[in-house]
């Protein structure tokens, strides 16, 4: 007895554009998902911080990388750099309105991590 298996071709399913990964979504995930960026955003959610305070709250983050990420976030309009008056001159970083809009997503990701990765 010989068994013959034939391939059955399925009709391609129509995929809706709503389900497709759009360029804006991809860009946002790449931006927030960059190494250390999510952690920096998370610590800034509770209010503005000076550079050294951010570094203390995000262990293992180098000065060079923190500076680079803060500049990237500032260029995207997510973080605002403020020079404080006085001697010596101090600088603090805080979230802009655009950055604050990320709060629900960042906090949800933190909650998910504690529930599923902890």
What is the third-level CATH fold of 23-116? Arc Repressor Mutant, subunit A (1.10.10)
Q: In angstroms, what CA-CA distances link 28 with 22, 37, 44, 74, 92?
A: 10, 12, 18, 15, 24
List the chain domain ranges.
23-116
pLDDT tens, 60-80? 999 999 999 999 999 999 999
8 A C-beta contact, residue 34 and residue 53: no
d(CA 31, CA 36): 11
* CB burial of residue 73 (10 Å; 0-12, 13-18, 19+): buried
What gap in Å lies between CA 28 and CA 92, rounded to an integer?
24
Query: Using CA atoms in the order 52, 55, 56, 61, what is the torsion angle rounded to 10 degrees?
Result: -150
Per-residue pLDDT of the chain (118 residues; tens, 9 = 90+): 667 666 667 777 776 777 778 889 899 999 999 999 999 999 999 999 999 999 999 999 999 999 999 999 999 999 999 999 988 889 999 999 999 999 999 999 999 999 999 8
């Amino acid at each position: 007895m010989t068994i013959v298996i034939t391939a059955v071709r399925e009709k391609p399913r129509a995929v809706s554009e709503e389900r497709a990964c759009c360029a804006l979504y991809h860009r946002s995930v790449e931006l927030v998902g960059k190494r250390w960026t999510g952690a920096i955003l998370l610590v800034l959610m509770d209010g503005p911080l000076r550079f050294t305070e951010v570094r203390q709250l995000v262990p293992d983050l180098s000065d060079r990388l923190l500076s680079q990420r803060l500049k990237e976030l500032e260029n995207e309009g997510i973080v605002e750099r403020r020079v404080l008056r006085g001697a010596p001159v101090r600088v603090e970083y805080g979230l802009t309105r655009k950055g604050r809009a990320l709060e629900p997503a960042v906090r949800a990701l933190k909650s998910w991590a504690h529930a599923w990765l902890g």
